[in-house]
A = this chain, B = another copy of it.
Amino acid sequence: MTHFVSHLEGAIDGTRLEFGRIYNLHAGKPIVVRYDLAAVRKVVTPTDIATRPPTLWRYRELLPLPLDVEPVTLGEGMTPLLKCDRLGGELGLPNLFVKDESQLPTGSFKSRGMTAAVSMAKWLGVKRVALPTAGNAGGGAAAYAARAGLECFVFMPQDTPVVSHFEPHLYGAKAFRVNGLINDCGKIVKDGTEPMGWFDLSTLKEPYRLEGKKTMGLELAEQFGWKLPDVILYPTGGGTGLIGMWKAFQELRELGWLKSDKMPRLISCQAEGCAPIVTAFDKGERFAELFPNAATAASGLRVPVAVADFLILDAIRASGGTAVAGAETAIAPWMKRASSREGISICPETAVCFDVLEKLIVNGDVKPSETVVVFNTGAATKYLEALPAELPLLEKERIDWDKIGA
């Protein structure tokens, strides 16, 4: 056996689908990968994994690419789990951690999904991929497509941060701005499938980006010594990471690799200006409605409708967690505050998480004794627009030390 996938499964109705073919959605909803975990348990242990190179491919048996196929990789994964004592001290949380995804290739968590999805697409014979992006996914896809030698088309809202324009261009993708939001871009990609002959790489519209994102949960478990934290705050746009982590935790539990079966509470964080999941959570709904007039400086959260809404909401509820919106006005201040306390390049989406965390501490929903992990999903430097920097100009002939020290 060169892989441990048992089958694919339609997430909405449990329909079994055969592995090894090209799929997008089933019944208009996501497809997920299922493994023969009993077989995995027989061939690999956490001790084996500890000896492997520090990339997400160390969890090879829990990923869909056959073992004898070379992945399309840029060395991604095993991002640092950083204890934050200075910020934790201010917030009254002695066990606050940031999982820093800004250190991945292309500076964001999108690399995890892309290494898996592009590896699978290449293996399955795809030559051309396309996707919509709210910002970071475009750069990630373009980089991995370049590494694989695939053609790549990227569509983004016209006012996406400038670094998101730069990256696909750098990697030789064909990138376009669109007078609309990510769902409008998604429609172009869908409509182009036939005339352009590309594979739709949209998140959760193919089964494998989710598997790559799942490794955030696997790494967290390994880095905490195969225990899980009490609380995870995760910024939620398309929600793949949140769904992926929850899937990872269930697989680890079934494998028997966890020292305790206590699951973390998942806190889905959105911005006030685009909070469809928060709205649905509050109403007790399983499906979210399109969020009208979506607008936020946290561009990655500007996803007014998510194809996997029910999977996000199921995971939050199953974990005993919640969905909370952070204030738009808190974004720039929290980017600066968190970054300047800990030296971590905190992106706007994660700034939203810190605003939510502060609310939950005040509410008593997060206790000082709890171990809390906040995901930093990308580098702040990818969002220059969110925190304008205008540095004073000095004349070298006339240096005034008082002014410099002021």
Interface of A toward B, CB cutoff 8 Å:
51, 54-55, 74-75, 78-82, 86, 100, 102-107, 142-149, 153, 155-156, 158, 162-163, 165-172, 174-180, 184, 187-188, 191-192, 195-196, 335-336, 339-345, 379-382, 384, 387, 389-396, 399, 401, 404-405
Chain B residues lying within 8 Å of A336, measured Cβ to Cβ, are 169-170, 172
Closest to A383 in B: B166
Chain B residues lying within 8 Å of A107, measured Cβ to Cβ, are 107, 379, 381
Rounded to whole Å, the gap between the CB of A97 and the closest CB of chain B is: 11
Given contacts A106-B345, A166-B389, contact A180 B396 (CB under 8 A): yes
- A381-B177 in contact (CB<8A): no
Closest to A387 in B: B170
Number of copies: 2
Chain B residues lying within 8 Å of A167, measured Cβ to Cβ, are 345, 381
- A171-B100 in contact (CB<8A): no
Cα–Cα distance between A145 and B192 once the two chains are bound (Å): 49
- B86-A80 in contact (CB<8A): no
Given contacts A170-B335, A192-B404, contact A147 B396 (CB under 8 A): no
- B103-A179 in contact (CB<8A): no
- B341-A146 in contact (CB<8A): yes
Rounded to whole Å, the gap between the CB of A406 and the closest CB of chain B is: 9
Given contacts A82-B74, A335-B170, contact A176 B394 (CB under 8 A): yes
Cα–Cα distance between A155 and B387 once the two chains are bound (Å): 20
- B176-A393 in contact (CB<8A): yes
- A103-B75 in contact (CB<8A): yes
Not counting A75-B79, A75-B103, a sample of 4 additional A-B residue pairs whose C-beta atoms are within 8 angstroms of each other reads A107-B379, A170-B335, A180-B396, A187-B396
- A169-B391 in contact (CB<8A): yes
Rounded to whole Å, the gap between the CB of A216 and the closest CB of chain B is: 15
Cα–Cα distance between A192 and B177 once the two chains are bound (Å): 47
Given contacts A105-B103, A396-B188, contact A175 B391 (CB under 8 A): yes
